[in-house]
Amino acid sequence: MFRFANPYLLLLLLLIPAMIYWYVRNHRQKNSSATLRYSNLGIVKSVKSTPMKQLRHSLFVFRLIAVALMILAFARPQSGQKESKVQTEGVDIILAMDISSSMLAEDFKPKNRLEAAKVVAADFIRGRKNDRIGLVVFAAQSFTQCPLTLDYGIVLRFLEEVKTGMIDDGTAIGMAIGNCVNRLKDSKAKSKVVILLTDGRNNRGELDPITAARVAEAFHIRIYTIGAGKRGEALYPIDDPIFGKRYQRIPVQIDEDLLMQVADITGGQYFRATDKTSLEQIYAEIGEMEKTKIEVKEYTRYSELFLPYLLAALLLLLLEIVLANTKFRKIP
């Protein structure tokens, strides 16, 4: 970008035409009035015109250019470069995932609940920017599969390794919330969030979910709870040593009242996912509610360019003075 800091001074360039008019008019008047008288003009006519005589007007040209350059210098030409400063206020998010054996129920086609939850969670992770994300898994106990990090590749790799059987079977929702709180309590993020997905009822662990939720609320941690499973009954695969793999219908038992209470206590929200599509919609809705604040400040940094103009003008004025007193010196 280019600009003049004092553009109103450019109006002084109107002096240039006035100077030209004055010079031409003055030059004509001098030519019309004789200053020397000769009895015989033959001597004068015999004097040949020289290149130096033809260049006598160059002094005035130098002065014009010098004046124009000085006006441009006083107008302060500046070169600008646009820069931007990005300020982000990220969100710290813990994905708490139930990996109990009931997550193998195949009501989230084309795969079971756990595999569908992993696919949707992976898409959610890829869609975040500037947010730290961690992963907690739970069954009878809870442990951190991946701590909070901005390296989404690491989170996705740990997510891919999640499977049932990593922990003794059961559903310790309170312990999962407690683990998430432990990871988020010292966070300086503007928003601290837990997305807890389960398909059962709290039946293991030493920590009650409601108590854990109150602890989370004390640390300003918001919990979004998701109940995963179709309503009624779902097909659950059983490996029979005699008949091989077969399916058994099991009732879907999600403690929705508990999950609603946990969400309400912490200022979150409860969702029910009955298939993979609804689960995708839930994660998208949570993503919209927990947007990262990005503030972009644009500004232009200017550098002064007047010095070359000023130096060139002074050089031309000096050249005019030297030539006027040497090569183009006038006889008084």
**DSSP notation for 2-60:** EEESSGGGGGGGGHHHHHHHHHHHHHHHHHHS-SS--S-THHHHHSPP-HHHHTTTHHH
198 by DSSP, 3-state: which? strand
Which of the pair, 323 or 75, is modelled with greater confidence? 75
- The pLDDT, as a whole number, for residue 317 is 87
- Rounded to an integer, what distance in angstroms lies between the CA atom of residue 103 and that of residue 119? 14
Q: Is residue 332 part of a domain?
A: no
Residue 331 lies in a domain: no
By residue range, what is the domain housing residue 65?
2-29+48-82+300-324
Could you tell me how many helices (H) and strands (E) the chain has, helices first? 11, 11
Per-residue confidence at 289, pLDDT binned at 50, 70, 90? confident
Say whether both 308 and 188 belong to one domain.
no
Whether the pLDDT of residue 88 is over 80: the answer is: no
- Asked if residue 42 is part of any domain, the answer here is no
| C-alpha–C-alpha distance, residues 67 and 15, integer Å | 9
pLDDT at 179 over 80: yes
At residue 135, does pLDDT exceed 80?
A: yes
Residue 303 has pLDDT above 80, yes or no: yes
> Above pLDDT 70, what percent of the chain?
85
Instruction: Identify whether residues 7 and 75 lie together within a single domain.
Output: yes
Residue 39 lies inside a defined structural domain of this protein: no
Residues 103 and 200 in one domain: yes
On the question of pLDDT at 139 being above 60, the answer is yes
Instruction: Supply the pLDDT for residue 190.
Output: 83
Residue 2: pLDDT band with limits 50, 70, 90: confident
Amino acid 251 reads: P
37 domain-assigned? no
- Between residues 45 and 176, the one the model is more confident about: 176
Q: How far apart are CA 275 and CA 89, in angstroms?
A: 33
Amino acid at 56: R
Rounded distance between C-alpha atoms, residue 108 and residue 279, angstroms? 9
pLDDT in tens, 146-160: 999 999 999 999 999
Strands 191-198 and 91-98 turn out to be: parallel
Give Cα 294 to chain centroid, integer Å: 6
d(CA 264, CA 266): 5
Q: What was the pLDDT predicted at 176?
A: 97
Give the amino acid at 3.
Answer: R
Question: Structurally, how many domains does the chain consist of?
Answer: 2
Those residues whose C-beta lies under 8 Å from the C-beta of residue 48, and which sit 6 or more positions away, are: none
pLDDT digits (tens, 9 = 90+) for 245-285: 788 899 999 999 999 999 999 999 999 999 999 999 999 99
Mean of per-residue pLDDT scores for the chain: 86
